[in-house]
Amino acid sequence: MSKQEIIQKTLRFFAKKILRKYKPRIIGITGSVGKSTTKEMIFTVLEKKFHTRKSEKNYNNEVGIPLTIIGVTGEKKNILQWVGVFIQAIRVSFFSNNYPDVLVLELAADQIGDIKYFCDFIPIEVGVLTNVGISHLENFKTKENIFKEKSYLLKQANKFVIYNKDNIDVEKIQKIITVDNKSYGLNNQADFNITEVGYNYNKQNVLKGTIFKVIHGGKSISGKLNNLMGRPYLYGVLAAVTVADYFDIDLKEAIASLENRTVMPGHMALIKGIKNTSIIDDTYNSAPASVKEALGVTSEIEASRKIIVLGDMLELGKREASSHKLVGKKVADIKNSIFVAVGDKMKIAVDRFKKKVSNNQSRVYWFENSIEAGRFVQNLIKTGDLILVKGSQGMRMEKIVLEIMAEPNRKKELIVRQDKDWIE
């Protein structure tokens, strides 16, 4: 047995023991995209009423989830640090502790069996499915396998299920649910809906954030999100409001608590750019569904020019070529857009863009890596531009945002992957 396997099994043992002792109410969240946003929103609406803990950063795997349950944060690199973890686990397991009432856990599924692994030792009270896309298709082989993996959480939730009704697999989802459930969406067919989505600006006509109305039970409640942009966050709002309703929290209070939700680095976050520009920073990761959402938001916002900076979408397997072609087509459909592509796979998107846009001489550019692209974008942008930056983690697209952000002194607060290991 390897060192990693020993650590994983030991962590699972203590996590299981702790959950049996304290019996916290557990919300499990999974999906192809939107997990982190949804987790943060749900935590925000619960934390004022309940002692609540959430999984931090990317603590969403076989090691990270038990660490969250134990109550330990930070990466562990040596034996002394792991000894400290196990001492903490013993303390929490056997002695009185001010343990949280509610745990909000983001559950990643990179391969078949991941969700079952979690559900075998974590009693999920509320299961939340954000959507089913084709992230990690290279590992799952088929979208049907992805659906089976993600939806397993809904089968195991023992009291309540929440799901996104806008997902194309919604009919299959409805067939497997055996407990009370509510749906959310933007199509007016769900139990919780959002309508009248728009964007607000300050007196200098600089973008501030997103405005909307939540519709439930015939009632309409206005809300806004400062520094957060568009539909991806709106789905998070809806999931959080649905959870709030389940936990008997006033919906007006829940929506108001989200207004100044702290910006999540790299998740459709609105950042001030140099030359009085606005940056939509979506550099945490990328997948076809999330690119579609980001481009949809960008197309709706008013701006003199829209600079679309996209890096490769990785781990798509046989969908790689078709997905990148579709990106090129969608970028070409955005008025006043300039396309800056980064990475070998984005060459496919560039070719599709050129086929659709006849006069493309000054509208499309390609770069091998994010460092080269960042220098170019810094010189390209002008006052009033809106810049979308997005790509898979491996493309390191946050380096472009670092080149063009107006407040580089806030990079550790605003930009993803600024810890020492990532920088090195």
Q: How far apart are CA 353 and CA 280, in angstroms?
A: 21
pLDDT in tens, 75-103: 777 888 888 889 999 999 998 779 999 99
Once rounded to an integer, what is the mean pLDDT over residues 150-176?
Answer: 86
pTM over 0.85: no
Once rounded to an integer, what is the mean pLDDT over residues 340-346?
Answer: 98
Residue-level pLDDT at 134? 63
- Round the average pLDDT of the chain to a whole number and report it: 90
- pLDDT classification of 398: cutoffs 50, 70, 90: very high
- pLDDT classification of 1: cutoffs 50, 70, 90: confident
Q: How far apart are CA 101 and CA 247, in angstroms?
A: 12
pLDDT in tens, 171-204: 788 888 889 999 999 977 899 999 999 988 877 6
Once rounded to an integer, what is the mean pLDDT over residues 257-283?
Answer: 90
Amino acid at 279: I
Once rounded to an integer, what is the mean pLDDT over residues 384-413?
Answer: 96
Per-residue pLDDT at 299 exceeds 70? yes
- pLDDT classification of 136: cutoffs 50, 70, 90: low
DSSP 217: T
Which among 285, 312, 279, 315 is positioned nearest to 297, based on CA atoms? 279
Q: How far apart are CA 158 and CA 164, in angstroms?
A: 19
> CATH 3.90.190.20: which residues of the chain?
269-423
Look at 65-79, 132-146, 378-392 and tell me which has the smallest mean pLDDT.
132-146
Per-residue pLDDT at 43 exceeds 80? yes
CB 164 within 8 A of CB 63: no
The two tokens of residue 125 are 């009270």
CB 137 within 8 A of CB 323: no
CB 161 within 8 A of CB 171: no
Once rounded to an integer, what is the mean pLDDT over residues 395-401?
Answer: 98
Q: How far apart are CA 112 and CA 128, in angstroms?
A: 18
pLDDT in tens, 375-397: 999 999 999 999 999 999 999 99
Once rounded to an integer, what is the mean pLDDT over residues 389-418?
Answer: 96
What are the Cα distances from residue 360, in Å, to 299, 331, 357? 18, 12, 6
- pLDDT classification of 20: cutoffs 50, 70, 90: very high
User: What share of the chain has pLDDT > 70, as a percent?
Assistant: 97
Look at 68-82, 133-147, 163-177 and tell me which has the smallest mean pLDDT.
133-147
| Burial of 204 per CB tally in 10 Å (0-12, 13-18, 19+) | exposed
Q: Locate tokens 């520009």: which residue?
A: 277
**Which residues have CB under 8 Å from 314's CB, separation 6+?**
286, 345, 392, 393, 394, 395
300 alpha-carbon distance from chain centroid: 20
Once rounded to an integer, what is the mean pLDDT over residues 27-43?
Answer: 90
Q: How far apart are CA 97 and CA 113, in angstroms?
A: 32
CATH 1.10.630.10 fits 269-423, yes or no: no
| Burial of 1 per CB tally in 10 Å (0-12, 13-18, 19+) | exposed
Q: Which helix (H) or strand (E) holds 200?
A: strand 192-201
Per-residue pLDDT at 133 exceeds 70? no
> CATH 3.40.1190.10: which residues of the chain?
3-185
Q: Which helix (H) or strand (E) holds 173?
A: helix 170-176
Per-residue pLDDT at 111 exceeds 70? yes
Specify the CATH class of 3-185 in words. Answer: alpha beta
Residue-level pLDDT at 259? 93
Once rounded to an integer, what is the mean pLDDT over residues 352-372?
Answer: 89
